[in-house]
Homo-oligomer: A and B are copies of this chain.
Amino acid sequence: MQLSISVTQAAFDLAVEEARLAAEAGDAGAVVAFVGRVRGQDGPVALASLFLEHYPGVTESEIARIAGEAAARWPLLACRVVHRVGHLLPGEGIVLVLMASSHRQAAFCAAEFLMDYLKTQAPFWKRECFVDGSQHWVEAKATDDDACLRWS
């Protein structure tokens, strides 16, 4: 499996990433892309921006380890992960996962598996800044942990 991981402040371009992955993957019949975007209205007060922190070095190697687990479970041809950090505005893409495989089922399963990991286990921390000037670090959600249990 071709694997490429970026943790970066820069925005990503879905078409560029998908075309590159498809080229690397050779004869892939299926590409699944997940794009996570910053939601502007999750609670009662609208979000002004999000700040994402991570643990440089550890984040990349942990994502690579989990992508390796996915490759052991499903027949994958290529995987690309882009995760943004720093300040992000509502509507902006925050995470991109691309999975290429010969057939669709492996790509769907592996993309969902990796997203469950990124949401529940990867060393990222979010601080929410609201339009009323308040801000706080986001608390971990029980529902995200539940989704991950399906794979354990």
Which chain A residues have a beta carbon within 8 Å of chain B's beta carbons? Answer: 13-16, 18, 22, 27-41, 90-91, 102, 104-105, 107-108, 111-112, 115, 119, 147
Contacts and interface: CB of A to CB of B under 8 A. Distances in A.
Nearest to A38: B29
Contacts of A111: 32, 108
A27 B15 contact: no
A22 B35 CA distance: 10
Contacts of A31: 33-35, 37
A39 B27 contact: yes
Total identical chains: 2
Which DSSP category, helix, strand, loop or mixed, fits chain A's interface?
A: mixed
A147 B41 contact: no
Nearest to A143: B103
Contacts of A108: 34, 108, 111-112, 115
Given A32-B33, A32-B111, A33-B34, 10 more contacts: A15-B16, A22-B35, A30-B35, A31-B35, A32-B34, A33-B35, A34-B104, A39-B102, A104-B112, A104-B115
A124 to B, nearest CB: 15
B18 A41 contact: no
A16 to B, nearest CB: 8
A90 B115 CA distance: 29
Contacts of A107: 34
